[in-house]
Amino acid sequence: MTEIKKRILIVDDDIDLLTQMKIHVESFGFEAITAEGQKEGEEILEKIKPDLAILDLMMENKDSGFILSYKIKKKYPDVPVIIATAVTAETGLVFGLDTEEERNWIKADQYLEKGIRPDQLHREINKLLKI
């Protein structure tokens, strides 16, 4: 009997980072489904329900990741969402999920600064999927 792999949706407009993240996620034993932007991510969500999503923040728009996260949570409230971004390094803006207010408008379960080590990513995925 074959074990069904958990599906992780990865959305990032940086093809190099998208490819790296896909390789890491697959090496952890998960199925990786990728999209190169918010629009493509939304199209995939019409067809499948991922077990977890990893989203870049700034894609077509500066808030594409927030919009996509909101749409995922509205359609699939139980799907954990990680926002992985370099926005602080690029703009100086600081985001987080530390306060109730931030958690109310940033519909994500985890927020990680890019430059994520593979072991850290694996740990966060396992924690959110309760593995």
Give per-residue pLDDT as tens, 80-131: 999 987 754 454 455 554 555 555 556 678 888 888 899 999 999 999 999 8
Edge-to-edge strand order for the sheet containing 52-55?
Answer: 31-35, 7-11, 52-55, 81-85, 110-113
Write out the DSSP string of 87-114.
Answer: HHHHH-----S-SHHHHHHS--SEEEES
Model confidence pLDDT, tens digit, residues 11-49? 999 999 999 999 999 999 999 999 999 999 999 999 999
pLDDT tens digit sequence for 49-69:
999 999 998 888 888 888 899
Torsion of CA 32, 35, 39, 42, to 10 degrees: -10
Q: Model pTM greater than 0.95?
A: no
For 7-129, CATH gives 3.40.50.2300
pLDDT of residue 1: 54
Nearest CA-CA partner of 9 in 46, 74, 53: 53
And the tokens for 53?
A: 């999503």
